[in-house]
């Protein structure tokens, strides 16, 4: 309001209900320099004032109709209000007569609405009406008639007065707190100049709404600090899942209590600890109120969702009633997936039945088996699949499903450990390089399984231990699995474990044992018609032949392996075989052919999500690039392999480190590779690092050490190569 408008209103208010002469008003408004046409200027000001005041034109002047006292029913604003800057900014931008604040139970909708209503008070000088409609309460909700009677009385009316008529020519803010959709319409002001602010746990798409989420981490810290909670509150905030109601209950409970003791109580009994003794305030009670408002079918669906252990839920598992749960803000929708707030998930989990958990498990197992049937070309299925798997059209569809559901599958396999589910996930997790996930679920299943089912988990763990340098543990797992499968006459599974065992002995330089186990596996593969497994066995044979110095034999075995893999459309063994063929061709200085093999292997592995093969190929290709004096290209390949490996594959990490030591010509880096290779038992990497350091330092002693280590491991190809290199050293 401008100074002139304030002066006009003050002059009229000085004689309420009486006409104030035109000239008196002009003198009050323009005491020093009146306008050229004061009556016209006065009319303009009066027309502007009428936007907020009732002004009557009389024959002698203007008369202000006195307003009744403006009611203010708003609850007090919280002194420790924190955060919500983004939501407040959104509310400030809304230019609509009705604004809604919605969100899950306990998220702080009322607190924000009260803060916003206090901010808006000046814009609504004729009053602010407030009612808690108790839409989610243990007692009966407030009826429309009760709310209207409350409003009429506050506006100075009597039993027979009409609410909407009393709002005429007034600027009033109406706050409808804890509203359900069915009571809102009759309580909304229909008069221009009035506005309404609504809070509800239900979605209100018919209005402009701000959906409220949990507090940010820093805001949660600020809230607890304002409640004088001292100490490290990070875990407390995590256990409260940043839900404002939970944080306020926790802050109240901590008065005079030891923070670590209360946190320990929260860890063990989260929902029970989030209540105030001798008070109705509790997170679980708040959730109960929303739950009771649901239809019977939606309540059943909510209970069922508690059996899903992962972070989100697909619509196909949730079913149609999920939409009612979303509208009630008990479930959040994210595209075609659905999520529950952490505390709501815990609440639902307590309601889920054993049958719910079995239904969820079966739903995932049937689909995992169906997707695995498409992906496991080249892999031996360690345990038989379910009788009625859900079919998948092709590899792309199966990979997409596994990628989408991976976190849920891993959580499910921990919540309900089962070797059959792990066997269905094995090919996908190995091809995609999710080694940590495979270890987690296989170890969980091994703790509860026995016999062949336990042996299947040992096969999984043996491969993982091998890749991470725990060779003795890997060998132990393999030997126990081989014995169990052998006793049961399961030759395909036995041969798979033998093949892994051969690979372990190859990498630690015990080639005689590698050859022995590999030949045993190949004998089992052939008579049993295990075409795909034979391909892998031939690939491993090629690598053993390489280290024994029989390069022509190695090339022949690998070319046959690749050809058979192509015939079977076995992408896994085609790309892996091409990578290994590239290594053998490079060893024969057939660099152009080797590069062609590496390039195709990279293309296949990248396009089909075969991350471990992509990592290995990048490292081997980098060695070729160094040999052809393209060091920066080699660096890029090795660094990308390291990025892909993360902390999941020690073998790639050390092997790529060797490439970078060669590229950087760094003795320090060679020494680090030597240390790590020796600790992990990666004998072939160790002897290559010794030879690399010898070439860099031009010191024959290092060549002698490399030759000695190579010969002791039967690595004849390496020993002969190092002798040739050593002869050229000064």
Q: What is the mean pLDDT of residues 130-141?
A: 84
User: In the structure encoding, which two tokens stand for residue 307, read together?
Assistant: 């059996």
* Residue 286 pLDDT grade (very low, low, confident, very high; cuts 50, 70, 90): confident
pTM confidence score: 0.72
Domain 294-352, second-level architecture: Orthogonal Bundle (1.10)
Whole-number Cα distances in Å, 7 to 1, 126, 253, 397, 564: 10, 19, 54, 74, 96
Domain 3-64, second-level architecture: Orthogonal Bundle (1.10)
Beta-bridge partners for 21: 61
| % residues pLDDT > 90 (the chain) | 47
Q: What are the sequence ranges of the domains in the chain?
A: 3-64, 85-212, 217-285, 294-352, 530-664, 667-730
Q: What is the mean pLDDT of residues 531-548?
A: 77
Rounded Cα gap, residues 73 and 118, in angstroms: 11
Query: Does pLDDT of 253 surpass 90?
Result: no
SS3 690: helix
DSSP character at residue 666: -
**Around Cβ 358, how many Cβ atoms within 10 Å?**
12
Q: Is domain 530-664 classified as CATH 1.25.40.10?
A: yes
Sheet holding 337-339, edge to edge: 313-314, 337-339, 332-334
Query: Mean pLDDT, the chain, as a whole number?
Result: 89
Query: Does pLDDT of 724 surpass 90?
Result: no
Query: Does pLDDT of 726 surpass 70?
Result: yes
Taking only the tens place, the pLDDT of each residue in 183-200 is 999 999 988 889 999 999
Domains 85-212 and 294-352 alike in fold: no
User: Phi first, then psi: what are they for 530, rounded to 5°?
Assistant: -85, 80
Rounded Cα gap, residues 244 and 627, in angstroms: 62
Q: What is the mean pLDDT of residues 527-540?
A: 65
Pairing verdict, β 173-177 and 332-334 = unpaired
Predicted pLDDT of residue 521:
84
Higher pLDDT, 531 or 704: 704
**Around Cβ 122, how many Cβ atoms within 10 Å?**
8
Q: Is domain 85-212 classified as CATH 3.40.50.300?
A: yes
Beta-bridge partners for 132: 177
Residues 417, 447: contact at Cβ < 8 Å? yes
* Residue 528 pLDDT grade (very low, low, confident, very high; cuts 50, 70, 90): very low
Query: Does pLDDT of 730 surpass 60?
Result: no
Taking only the tens place, the pLDDT of each residue in 616-672 is 999 999 999 999 999 999 999 999 999 988 777 888 999 999 999 999 999 999 999
Taking only the tens place, the pLDDT of each residue in 476-516 is 999 999 999 999 989 889 988 998 999 898 888 788 888 88
Q: Please, which residues have CB within 8 angstroms of residue 580's CB and are 6 or more apart in sequence?
A: 539, 542, 543, 558, 561
Predicted pLDDT of residue 1:
57
Strands (DSSP E) along 77-121, which ranges? 98-103
């Amino acid at each position: 309001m401008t100074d002139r408008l304030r002066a006009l209103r003050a002059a009229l208010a000085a004689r309420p209900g009486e006409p104030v002469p035109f000239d008196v008003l002009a003198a009050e408004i323009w005491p020093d320099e009146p306008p050229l046409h004061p009556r016209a200027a006065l009319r303009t000001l009066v027309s502007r004032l009428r936007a907020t005041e009732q002004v009557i034109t009389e024959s002698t002047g203007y008369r202000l109709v006195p307003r009744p006292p403006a009611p203010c029913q708003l609850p007090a604003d919280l002194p420790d209000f924190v955060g919500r800057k983004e939501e407040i900014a959104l509310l400030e931008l809304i230019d609509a007569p009705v604004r809604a604040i919605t969100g899950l139970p306990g998220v702080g909708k009322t607190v924000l609405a009260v803060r916003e209503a206090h901010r808006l008070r000046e814009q609504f000088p004729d009053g602010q009406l407030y009612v808690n409609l108790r839409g989610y309460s243990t007692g009966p909700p407030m009826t429309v008639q009760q709310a209207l009677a409350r409003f009429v009385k506050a506006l100075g009316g009597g039993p027979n007065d009409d609410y909407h008529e009393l709002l005429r020519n007034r600027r009033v803010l109406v706050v409808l707190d804890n509203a359900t959709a069915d009571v809102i319409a009759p309580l909304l002001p229909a008069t221009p100049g009035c506005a309404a602010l609504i809070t509800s746990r239900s979605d209100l798409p018919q209005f402009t709404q701000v959906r409220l989420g949990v507090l940010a981490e820093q805001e949660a810290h600020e809230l607890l600090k304002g409640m004088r909670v001292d100490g490290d509150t990070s875990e407390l905030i995590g256990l409260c899942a940043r839900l404002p109601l939970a944080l306020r209950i926790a802050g109240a409970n901590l008065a005079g209590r030891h923070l670590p003791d209360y946190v320990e109580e929260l860890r063990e009994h989260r929902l029970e600890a989030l209540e105030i003794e001798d008070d109705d305030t509790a997170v679980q009670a708040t959730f109960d109120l929303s739950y009771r408002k649901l239809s019977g079918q939606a309540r059943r669906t909510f209970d069922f969702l508690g059996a899903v252990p992962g972070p989100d839920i697909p619509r196909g598992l949730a079913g149609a009633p999920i939409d009612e749960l979303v509208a009630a803000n008990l479930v959040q929708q994210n595209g075609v997936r659905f999520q529950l707030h952490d505390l709501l998930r815990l609440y639902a989990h307590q309601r889920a039945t054993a049958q719910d958990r079995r239904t969820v498990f079966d739903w995932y197992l049937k689909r995992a088996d169906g997707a695995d049937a498409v992906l496991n070309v080249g892999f031996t299925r360690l345990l038989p699949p379910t009788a009625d798997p859900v079919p998948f059209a092709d590899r792309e569809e199966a990979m997409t499903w596994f990628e989408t559901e991976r976190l849920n599958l891993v959580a499910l396999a921990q919540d309900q450990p089962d070797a059959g589910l792990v066997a269905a996930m094995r090919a996908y997790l190995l091809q995609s390089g999710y080694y940590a996930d495979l270890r987690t679920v296989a170890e969980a299943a091994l703790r509860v399984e026995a016999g062949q089912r336990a042996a299947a988990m040992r096969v999984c763990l043996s491969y993982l231990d091998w890749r991470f340098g725990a060779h003795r543990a890997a060998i132990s797992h393999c030997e126990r699995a081989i014995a169990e499968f052998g006793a049961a006459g399961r030759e395909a599974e036995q041969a798979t474990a033998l093949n892994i065992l051969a690979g372990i002995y190859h990498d630690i330089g015990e080639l005689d044992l590698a050859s022995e186990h590999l030949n045993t596996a190949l004998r089992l593969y052939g008579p049993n018609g295990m075409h795909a497994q034979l391909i892998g066995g031939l690939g491993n044979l090629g690598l053993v032949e390489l280290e024994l110095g029989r390069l022509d034999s190695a090339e022949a075995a690998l070319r046959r392996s690749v050809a058979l893999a192509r015939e079977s459309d076995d992408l896994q063994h085609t790309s892996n075989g091409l990578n290994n063929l590239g290594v053998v061709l490079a060893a024969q200085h057939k660099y152009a052919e080797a590069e062609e093999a590496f390039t195709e292997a990279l293309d296949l592995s990248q396009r089909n999500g075969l991350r471990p093969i992509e990592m290995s190929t990048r490292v081997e290709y980098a060695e070729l690039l160094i040999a052809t004096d393209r060091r920066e290209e080699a660096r890029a390949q090795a660094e990308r392999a390291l990025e892909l490996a993360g902390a999941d594959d020690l073998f790639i990490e050390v092997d790529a480190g060797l490439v970078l030591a060669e590229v950087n010509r760094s003795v320090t880096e060679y020494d680090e590779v030597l240390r790590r290779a020796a600790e992990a038992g990666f004998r072939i990497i160790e002897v290559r690092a010794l030879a690399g350091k010898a070439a860099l330092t031009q010191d024959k002693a290092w060549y002698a050490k490399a030759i000695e280590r190579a010969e002791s491991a039967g690595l004849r190809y390496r020993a002969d190569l190092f002798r040739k290199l050593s002869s050229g050293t000064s």
